[in-house]
Structure 1
């Protein structure tokens, strides 16, 4: 009886344990399962061999120009502030503001009555001294005859000769006075020192101007026009070589989209700015349509050298890492990592070394690529663009048309 009682208690305990297990909720049972079962090696390996879809670009070999880009300022090659050389009153203004003038064209006329009177006075003095000289020469000739007849002494003849020489010198002085008076008179006619466009005219007839103080107008040459910019010190040698060869080609583009202009490098400064490490330079451009205006900002692009037979790939294919720059290439259907050295970048292109022309470099999708991963090339973008232009959605472009 005692043994039967023990077996009965054991059976009841087993039954109670089974009942507790059956009463658990499914969520609790699932949570109690080991985490390692969910991350089985088979599940992890199920997607390890999935290929990565990418787009590629075939590396090209071509000459790549090295462009130097900088911001420049349009400057006039010649700009002159016209001022009077004498203090006087303006008699007449012969130009209008904004007018294009030629070199030597009359701009202003000053009150010249005083200077004209001085010229007339100098001429009258010359006439008077000329008459005195003629009389002195006659006296000298008469004294020579009297000396020959021993009526006068040699000293009297020498005195007459000295009087003639003095009057000759006086005539020379009179002529110089006339020339000086004419120079002063010429200051009353103000002409253009160079061809160009007249700026603001702040004076009018009757205005008093002070000598070398009052600016009457500014004449600015607009054709040709210069552009001032700065060259990095590392490009100084290339710029000097180009300058010896007639000047490197320079392109200037207006910041407001007003067009591009072709010119040539004309000047490189003889000093490197220690604070910026750059050298001032100037290029000259034809400006027949007057689109380049002094003070305007332009984007300057200059070809300083050319990289011969450069291997060119898109900049988007380059991957910067802690160990340097690499690109992924597609070889035998798999990704291969190749270290490259960036030689020069321009726009969307980059000249590199470390790969060969014709290698397929990964451009889009490289963030999912690892060495040795199988790659699948994506359809070319132009095809998608053509499908969109034809009215076919890009997602459905690869589907066959309905019969």
Structure 2
């Protein structure tokens, strides 16, 4: 009888194991099919976008420049004497011809009067000698005097005429010296800090000037560009005769606009020690934002790219194969290669896309090819407008 029990137990064991295997198999396939039935597309990525613009784009060359006054004058005395008066204040705006300083002129006035008196004496002697000469000529024709006497009188007249001319020169020299006692401004500008005060004794050989007068409006900016820009600058120089090239001056990179001017001159040679080419621009400066010897960032309008495709600089991305943009097509993002022909801090000029295309300007960190996007904000241009006279 033990044998049938063992057979019955083995049968039940096999049935139980087979049932477990069947359940496990069903559960396995059910687990594979359930996710497929419930698969959903990944959530759309929120992005900011901009449209590709087509427009004429000015190419601006940024460079560090220095502000230079067109007229900077160190005011010095040309005569020795006591400084009697300084009728202008430090920092005052003066016009050309305004009185800046007055020096004691009494000694020069006295010398001038003495020279005038000596000139008058010599002139009287010359007049008398000329009268005598006329008499001697008449007597000479009558053979009443010797030829030697007539010749001596002619020589005396010539000598006195030279004496008169000498005294005239002395008078003129003293008048010039007298004019130096009143120092007038040669330019319109601003008075600097004084180095002397009323009552000081000044001399023409003093190492230190009285003060300076510097013209502020108009004003110039000088900058040095690398010789790699020579071709652009040569083309720019050829266009200067037809139309001025705009220049913009900023306080720093990305800073406030200080002035708008134009290129006045491109130097005639490259500096061999630095390998740079100097340029100079003139700026109106009625508000006084540009100050002599100030360092500024200058942008020079070198050329204009016609019908350029423009996108925001932030839309441009870099990959292993070069530059690309995320292009929006049918609600999905696609990486699209582009060629960059010009760029600055705000915009990029590219090739390879079309005007009106929509590109991602921000929010591309979670993008991958063919992923859906949700436009959060759309800027029709996404590109800052061209500034007056440049970009």
8 Å Cα contact 1:52/1:374 also seen in 2 = no
3-state secondary structure, aligned to 2:143 = coil
Distance 1:325 1:129, change over 3 A: same
Q: Report the alpha carbon displacement of residue 121 of structure 1 after superposing the two structures with TM.
A: 1.9
Query: Shift in Å at residue 48 of structure 1?
Result: 10
Matched residue, 2:321 = 323
Offset, 1:335 = 5.0
> Structure 1 length as normaliser, TM-score?
0.75
User: Which residue does 2:245 correspond to in 1?
Assistant: 248
Distance 2:295 2:180 in 1: 38
Indicate yes or no: 2:119 matched with 1:123. no
Is structure 2 residue 99 aligned with structure 1 residue 100? no
User: How many angstroms does 1:242 deviate by?
Assistant: 4.7
> Whose radius of gyration is greater, 1 or 2?
1
Count of residues in Structure 1 that have an aligned counterpart in Structure 2: 352
Q: 1:287-366 maps to which residues of 2 (within 5 A)?
A: 287-331=285-329, 335-364=333-362, 366=364
Whether 1:267 aligns to 2:260 is: no
Check if 1:174 corresponds to 2:167: yes
The alpha-carbon deviation at position 353 of structure 1 amounts to 0.8
Cα RMSD for the two superposed structures? 3.6
Pair 1:91 & 2:84 matched: yes
SS in 1 for 2:129: helix
TM-score by length of 2: 0.77
Q: Deviations over 1:37-87 (max 9, x none)?
A: 9xx899899979647535354322222222223343332211100111122
After TM superposition, give the deviation of residue 299 of structure 1 in Å. 3.4
Q: Is the 8 A contact 1:251 1:300 kept in 2?
A: yes
Q: Distance in 1 between matches of 2:287 and 2:265?
A: 24
Query: 1:171 & 1:289 partners in 2: Cα distance?
Result: 55
Q: Secondary structure at the match of 1:146?
A: helix
Deviations 1:88-121 (A, max 9, x none): 2223322222222221222222222222222122
Gaps of 5+ in 2: 14-28, 380-391
User: Residues 145 and 329 from structure 1, CA distance in 2 versus in 1: closer, same or farther, beyond 3 angstroms?
Assistant: closer
Unaligned stretches of 5+ in structure 1? 16-36, 384-403
Name the residue aligned to 1:377.
Answer: 373
Cα distance in 2 between the residues matched to 1:76 and 1:114: 37
CA positional deviation for 1:246: 4.1
Q: Against the structure 1 CA distance between its residues 202 and 381, is the aligned structure 2 distance closer, same or farther, given a 3 Å change threshold?
A: same
The alpha-carbon deviation at position 208 of structure 1 amounts to 1.2
Indicate if the aligned counterparts of 2:82 and 2:104 stay in contact, CA closer than 8 A: yes
1:52/1:376 contact within 8 Å kept: yes
